[in-house]
Every structure is written in C-alpha cells, then in structure tokens.
A and B are shown apart, each in its own frame.
Chain A
Amino acid sequence: MTDIWMITAAVLAVLIVVTLIRLYYGPTAPDRVVALDAINTLTVAAMIVLGVAYNEIAFIDVAIVYALLSFVGTLYIAKYIGGEL
C-alpha cells in the first residue's frame, strides 16, 4: 500500500515542475499569480499524501499550516496589482 501513496506524490511533483512553464512564459503578472496558486494547492496535496506514506500523524500539521497561511501572499500581490495598496 505504501507504493501507491509514493507514486501519487511523484505524479504531483511532476505536475509542480510542469506548472513552472507558465511561470516562465506568462506574459503578465496575473498569469504568474495563477501559477503560484496552482503550486500552492498541489503542495498541500503532496504534503498530506507524503504524511500518510511515511505513517507519521504529526506531519499533517504542516499541511494545515500551509493551507491556512499560503494565500496571504496571494492577497498582497492582488492588492498591489489592483492598485489598492
């Protein structure tokens, strides 16, 4: 059963690396913020899956911290792009 979770995490890592293409080619700043948001969600999913693969319950706490906090940077960038800061 452990191999299934590891393979899932490997596929998620491949998706993260593929998303970096949009970070490189994105014509404007909002396109790059979309790539940031996608990588954020994929990172939380990879952390949960890896926590199950290592069989360590305490590792899920890191995923909760990431899910709660990672959109603060997105909000700041959005406030600057919208000209409200």
Chain B
Amino acid sequence: MIADTLILIFIAIGLIFNTIGIIGILRFPDVYTRLHAETKTTTFGTIFLCLAVVVYAVSQYMGSGDGQYVTLSIHTIIALIALCFTNATGAHAIARAAYKSGQVPEPAVVDRLSEVKL
C-alpha cells in the first residue's frame, strides 16, 4: 500500500527534524544560535507531521467516501498556516528583544546593527 509507506516516511522526517531542533537547543552556546536551531527545524518538522495527517485523511476518504475526513484535512491545513505565521513573528520579537537587552553573540567581530536606529 503506497499511502502507508508515504505516511511512515513523512512521520520519520518530521520526528527526526524535531529531535535535531531539541538537541540544538540543548547544545548551542548562546541565544541567537539556539533560536536559529529551534524555530526553523521545529516548524519544518511540524509541517511534515501535518502532511502525514493530510495523506492519511485523503487515503481514508478514497477508501470509504466519508465526508468527515475532508474536514480533518482542511482543519489540519488551517492549523499549519496559523502555526507558520505565528512562529515567524514570535521568533523575530524574541531576537529583537534579546539584542535590545544588551546580549551580543560570543565571537562577533562587527556589529552593523548598532549603526541603525532601531
């Protein structure tokens, strides 16, 4: 069955990327690198988990013709769009606040952001 294989592959990709993101949070040295590891990889992994749910819903709809699986896939896509939107905005706010509170990256040489009026 091709749908089951596809679901397994998507779940594996999503879980591997989530795990990499959490390891990055634990291992990286300062705030900016931790933020970089967390936001991108966790959002990417969640996209693939939601894609697995959508593939499952479409395959069940092809098999049984039940209308509730269409609702399941549409609601999952809405949740995914909201998550992508809010994660990007929140990451921007955290990075800007950390810079304004006076933290600098550890091996930084030049600081071009200090020349601009924030």
Contact = CB atoms under 8 A, between A and B. Distances in A.
Interface residues of B, number: 47
A50 to B, nearest CB: 11
B100 A45 contact: no
Contacts of A57: 68, 71-72, 75
What does DSSP make chain A's interface, helix, strand, loop or mixed?
helix
Contacts of B103: 28, 30
A4 B18 contact: no
Nearest to A35: B25
B97 A60 contact: no
Given A15-B22, A30-B101, A75-B93, A67 B82 contact: yes
A63 B80 CA distance: 9
B22 A44 contact: no
A30 B31 contact: yes
A49 B53 contact: yes
A67 B8 contact: no
Contacts of B75: 57, 60-61, 64
A81 B95 CA distance: 11
Contact of B4 (A1, A15, A44): A1
A30 to B, nearest CB: 4
Given A8-B49, A37-B90, A44-B46, A81 B11 contact: no
B53 A83 contact: no
B26 A18 contact: yes
B15 A63 contact: no
B15 A78 contact: no
19 contacts: A8-B15, A11-B15, A12-B15, A15-B22, A37-B91, A38-B25, A44-B79, A44-B83, A45-B46, A64-B82, A68-B82, A70-B86, A74-B90, A75-B90, A79-B93, A79-B97, A81-B97, A81-B98, A82-B96
